[in-house]
Each structure stands twice: as C-alpha cells, then as structure tokens.
Amino acid sequence: MVLASALALIAVGGCSDLLEVELPSALTDDVLDDPTGASVQVASVIANIECGYSAFGWVRTLGAEDVLESVAGRGGGHAIHGSQPDTGAECDFDGDSSNGDYYDQFQIARSLAWGTYERLENWTDQEVPGSREELLATTALYAGIALEHFGTYYCEMTFDNGPLMTPSAVLDLAEQWINTSLGHIGNAGDFAIDHGASESARTMATALRARIRWHNGDLAGAAADAAQVPMGFSAWIVRDVGPQRRNKIYESGTQTGWGGMLGINDWWNETSGVTNRTNPVTGSPWPDPIPFTGYIFLGIMPDGRAIDDNGYAVTYAEEFRAAGAEPTLLNNGAVPDVRVQHFKKSIQGPEPREVPARYSAEDDDIPLVDWEEIWLILAEIEGGQQAIDRVNVIRRHYNLPEVTYADPGNAEQIRHMIIEERRRSFFAEGGRYWATKILNTDILWFPRTQGVTPSQGYDLDGGVRLTMPGDEYTLNPNITLNDRATGCDPAQAPTQDPGWSF
C-alpha cells in the first residue's frame, strides 16, 4: 500500500492549484486512513489519469493513428507502432520533453481509486470535509476512465495479480464503475468536476458510458446514453503550465518537434522490407497507396466529400516532397478542413516538416469525450440519412461544406464517411481515432512488423492493440509470457516484435 501511494504522489505534486499543499514523500497507511485528506486522494486519482492521458496522446497515439513518423533518435520511438506501453512513474518530474510514460499512471490511478472508494465508503459524512457523495461519484468515475483505457487499447489485462481479463470483460468492469458513479450523482445531485474538467458530472459519466458500450458492442445501450448528451458538451483532460502538467501532444509533437507529419501512405508497399503485403483480416493485399492515411493539406469538396469511394482523402494542395519546397495548391474546389491544421517548422531531424497545430500552448486542455464523438457514435448506429444528418451538424459547427454527395442506401459509402469524419474530428486528441482503427482492421492499416518508416528507416513494430509490460506476465502467478496477445480477437492482436524480448 505504501509503495502504490508513494507512486501516486508523483502526479499529485504537479497538480498546480488543484493541490497546492505540502505532502510527505509517501502516503503512509495512517495518512490514507485519515478522512480529512479524502479530497487529496481523489485529486491524486485525477492527476494520474490526466498525466497518463497526456503522455499517451503524445508517445503512442500520434503513431498508431498515422499522424507522425519517427524522425529524431531521442524521442523517436513514439511513432513506430509499438506493441508494449511505456512504463515508469516519473510523470515528467525530470522535465524531459521526450518522456512518454503512461501505463503506470493509469494503473496507479486505478489502484488508488479502488482503495480511496473503499475508504470513503467506510467513512461518514461527518468525518469527510465537503460532500462525501460527490467524492465517491468522482472516484468511481475516474476508476471507470482508467478501466476504459485498458479495455480499449490492450489485448488482455490483469489487476493486482488477478486472472487474465479480456478487453470486453475490462470494459464491463469500467461500465460497472460508471454505473456506481451515476448512482452517487443521483444521490448528490449533478455537480461540476473541479477545475473545468466538466460542467456536469452526470453528462460526463453518461457520455463515457456511451463510448464504453459502443466499443464493447452494446449499440442499443450506447444509443440510449448518447441521446442524453447535448450538443456542445465537452469533458477535458485539464492541462497547465509547467513540466508536470503540460499538454505533451503540444509540447513534444508541436513545440519540440520530435517527429514529422505524414501525407498519404504511398511508401509502405514500396519498401523493400515489406515481405508480406497481405491484410491478415481480409486475406487480400493492402491497396497501394494505403487508404485512410495522410493528414497534410486535408480538404473538403463543395458537395461535402472528404474521401473518395476508394478511401483516399480529399486534399486542397499537393504535399511538398523536397526540403524547403512549398505545396502546390490544387484547382479542385476543395476548402481546407479547419479541424486538421498544421504548419512547417524545423524539427529534431534533418529538414523542416509539418507539425500538428491542434494546440497552441502547453496549458491547452485535451478533449476526453465530447458531443462530436457522441454524434459520430450515433451516426454509425443509425446509418443512412440519419448518419449524413449527424455529420452535417458537425460540418455546420465548423462552417464546412455539408455532405450532399453520399447515397443513404450505400452502407459502404456511409461507413467510409463516418470513419473519415472521426479521423479528422479526433485529430491529435489522444487516441480516440485509434479506438476506431482497432474496430475496423479490415480496412484500416497497421504495419504488423512489416517495413520501415519513410524518411529515417526505423523498423515498424507490431502494435494493433497493446500487450501489458513483460513483468505483468512474469510476476503474476496466474499467467506467463505465453499469454501475451491471447486475450483479444486475432484481428486486433499485436504481432510479436523485438520489444517482446525480456
């Protein structure tokens, strides 16, 4: 207990005005058992989630979503489709802009949330300063967020040396914690999550449950929850100035520039290191170029088309190829998609490259869940003209051309429209498009240890979902290393790569 609590404090110390207090170097059992510090424990859960999410959005998802390629040697491993998470509990205390640890932060948050919730249950309202019901609701909510992360992105999971759990079982557990949170919200009445994370705990929990149910295949339940989320709603991963609370997607991806953005993938099939060009899900060769790739100069046609019927994105300019060259504007009538902005700058590599302009400062908050994501979940569930109408609500919000080209009766065209809309709406937002890729491996590409990155020749690894770190398998008496990548659908399983050697 003392060890887990000491690790939890690594993030607590960086909570800015959330926790401007002096804390001991480790939370002992005596401190944990003091009900007057309940709010500090809850804040520590939130801080670890936020730290882990920010690092995860930088070091893992910009590669898994094909936004960036690795360019710099230091910090360059972020975009090679790794199959294992980054571990370590520093939470940026060293100020290293290439640091991307996130696995321990989510596990610490989950463990601390479970323990804090149990303690809150045993304390009385009179013992706990503030609203005990609100603290219970918040703790359960963030326990659900940690579990959703594990159930969405990992092939299997264990907790506290327990048995192996499938992604679906982990998402079921996440939903149980969200249900628990909603029960306490019902007792306390709706309230805001501190420091701008959400104006409504109830809507935040409902939106998260909609996403959990969607990813877990409960489309009826997801639709019922989604119907309760109003347009304009957002919940946030709150960021602040300073190395311990910064937005890592901005600081590392934009400001420092550890990698460069990718255009359409017309290089992978031509790489000599690719010996197997077959999509293992379909048994057919991957198209050349790879569809649903490329984030540079994305555009939308006057009829609302963002992608053609083969899965290739509309652009408003030809991407530059030579160092220092400028793009050639196209005369195709497309307008720039304002959701996917970027600019060229000197990066940690041999030549200037485009970098994301999704955020403009290290204290910009990161969306956790919002109404656009909920609308696109509903679009997928409803299909047809209702899906087009949902997308057009988002288009009007950004003053972009509305969809008039799509045939409501063409299910494949509607599917492609929704996937591309997600790709753009979730640009550099911490993995929400990666979740879509995991559920659509028949048409969305993962290299699966085949080939190298286009400019620097780094070997591409085998990540689709992730495995746990190696010591989770070797130290747990219930499982062994042979259980790696066995808990999920084979279509979503990572492929063995050099990172599997221990």
pLDDT in tens, 157-173: 999 999 999 999 999 99
pLDDT, tens only, 440-491: 999 999 999 999 999 888 899 999 999 999 999 999 999 999 999 999 999 9
Strand ranges (E), 242-376: 259-261, 299-300, 317-318, 328-329, 335-336, 342-345, 353-356, 366-370
Determine the average pLDDT of the residues in 396-414: 98
Q: What's the rounded Cα separation, in Å, for the pair 358 and 381?
A: 28
Q: Name the residue with tokens 């996917």.
A: 340
- Give dist(CA 118, CA 131) in Å, integer: 16
The confidence band for 100, taking pLDDT boundaries of 50, 70 and 90, is confident
pLDDT, residue 323, reads 63
Identify the pLDDT of residue 94: 58
Percent of the chain with pLDDT over 90: 76
Chain-centroid distance, C-alpha 286: 25
With bands split at pLDDT 50, 70 and 90, how would you rate the model's confidence at 18? Answer: very low
pTM summary value: 0.93
- pLDDT for the residue 93: 57
pLDDT score recorded for residue 19: 31
- Residue 482 phi/psi, 5-degree rounding, is -70, -15
pLDDT at residue 1 greater than cutoff 50? no
- pLDDT band for 76, please (50, 70, 90 cuts): low
Predicted pLDDT of residue 320: 78
Q: What is the mean pLDDT of the chain?
A: 90
Query: By C-alpha distance, which of 296, 456, 431, 463 is closest to 367?
Result: 431
Specify the higher pLDDT residue, 110 or 321.
Answer: 110
Question: What pLDDT, on the 0 to 100 scale, is given for residue 500?
Answer: 75
CB 78 within 8 Å of CB 258: yes
* 3-class state of residue 300 by DSSP: strand
Q: Is the confidence at residue 27, as pLDDT, over 70?
A: no
Mean pLDDT of 44-63: 92
CA gap 389, 383 in Å, rounded: 10
- Across the range 357-369, mean pLDDT stands at 95
Give the mean pLDDT of 394-399.
Answer: 98
What is the pLDDT, as a whole number, of residue 258? Answer: 87
Digit-coded pLDDT (tens) for 80-91: 999 999 888 667
Query: Among residues of the chain, what percentage have pLDDT more than 70?
Result: 90
pLDDT at 360 over 70: yes
Cα separation of 186 and 180, whole Å? 10
Handedness of CA 243, 424, 444, 72 (dihedral sign): negative
Res. 9: pLDDT tops 80: no
Q: What is the pLDDT of residue 87?
A: 87
pLDDT of 79 > 50? The answer is: yes
Q: Does the CA dihedral 487-493-496-500 come out positive or negative?
A: negative
Instruction: Give CB contacts under 8 A, 24+ apart, made by 280-284.
Output: 280/448, 280/490, 280/491, 281/441, 281/442, 281/491, 282/442
Give me the mean pLDDT over the 382-401 stretch: 98
**What mean pLDDT is predicted for residues 161-190?**
97
| Arithmetic mean of pLDDT, 242-271 | 89
pLDDT of residue 101: 86
Among 186-190, 268-272, 391-395, the least confident range: 268-272
Farthest CA pair distance, the chain: 70
| Residue-level pLDDT at 46 | 95
Q: Encode pLDDT of 296-332 as tens digits.
A: 999 999 999 999 999 999 999 998 776 667 889 999 9
| 329 strand-pairing partners | 317
Tell me what the mean pLDDT of segment 250-255 comes to: 90
